Structure 1
């Protein structure tokens, strides 16, 4: 399962076509990491770079691919908005943009970059994005 890097808007368009614009998908899992750690001697090591990475697993009700993982490197904003009780978690369509060297993913096609916090949706921005087909990862586990 090799990672595919997004380099430009053409890559984004091809990917969005391939994954159906995230129509009828869901965010299954999310993992965040940094390069900061405490070693065995209890010394802390930190990076001065944008070292936050986020991996997100999406599944959808379609094939080829039915599951993908996005890897965001150099995360600059990370906004998760969980659904309310008795509200479904279906993503009906998402937005993926490249603006001035920054990638943005939002769980709604109508999301506006000029008002990112006014909309009750999850979104993330990062310096780099990669994707890979993980269709064998379908199901509850």
Structure 2
């Protein structure tokens, strides 16, 4: 699975067309990481750059592709809200835009970066964005790790 970097509005349009604007899809999983760490000697290492990356796996009820993975690098903001009890998690249409040098993805096609105060939307912004076909990752199985309550 090769990553394709999104650089232009045309790249965004092509991705949205390829994945049906996320219609009838769901966010299956996400994984966030930073460059911060504590080593064996308990010394802390940190980056002075935007070091947060987020991988998001989406699945949809259509083929070619039926699943994609987005990789946001240099994340500047990240807002995820779980679906409330007795509500589905279906994404009907999503928005992906390049605005003021940042890539934004949201599950609300009416959402705008300047009006991001509504706490009910899932959205993310980052300096760089890549995507790849993950159609072999369909189903219930977790791909980013097993969640255990142990």
TM-score by length of 1: 0.98
Which runs of structure 2 are paired with 1:111-122 in the superposition (5 Å)? 111-118=111-118, 120-122=120-122
Q: Please list the CA deviations of residues 11-39 of structure 1 after superposition, one character each: whole Å capped at 9, or x if unmatched.
A: 00011000000000000001000000111
SS at match of 2:114: coil
Write the distance in 2 (CA, Å) between the matches of 1:118 and 1:42: 40
SS at match of 1:130: strand
Write the distance in 1 (CA, Å) between the matches of 2:68 and 2:119: 25
Identify the residue that residue 43 of structure 1 maps to in structure 2: 43
Contact 1:27 1:58 in 2 (8 A): yes
Write the distance in 2 (CA, Å) between the matches of 1:134 and 1:104: 21
Please list every run of 5 or more consecutive structure 2 residues that lacks an aligned counterpart in the other structure.
Answer: 142-150
Q: Does 1:16 align with 2:16?
A: yes
SS at match of 1:13: helix
TM-score by length of 2: 0.92
Write the distance in 1 (CA, Å) between the matches of 2:93 and 2:119: 15
**Count of aligned pairs between the two proteins:** 141
Contact 1:111 1:119 in 2 (8 A): no
Write the distance in 1 (CA, Å) between the matches of 2:113 and 2:134: 29
Question: Bigger shift: 118-127 or 87-96?
Answer: 118-127
Tell me the CA shift for residue 110 of structure 1.
Answer: 1.2
Which runs of structure 2 are paired with 1:41-120 in the superposition (5 Å)? 41-118=41-118, 120=120
Identify the residue that residue 148 of structure 2 maps to in structure 1: none
Please list every run of 5 or more consecutive structure 1 residues that lacks an aligned counterpart in the other structure.
Answer: none
Tell me the CA shift for residue 116 of structure 1.
Answer: 0.8
Identify the residue that residue 128 of structure 1 maps to in structure 2: 128
Identify the residue that residue 138 of structure 1 maps to in structure 2: 138
- What RMSD over aligned residues (CA atoms) do the two structures have, in Å? 0.8
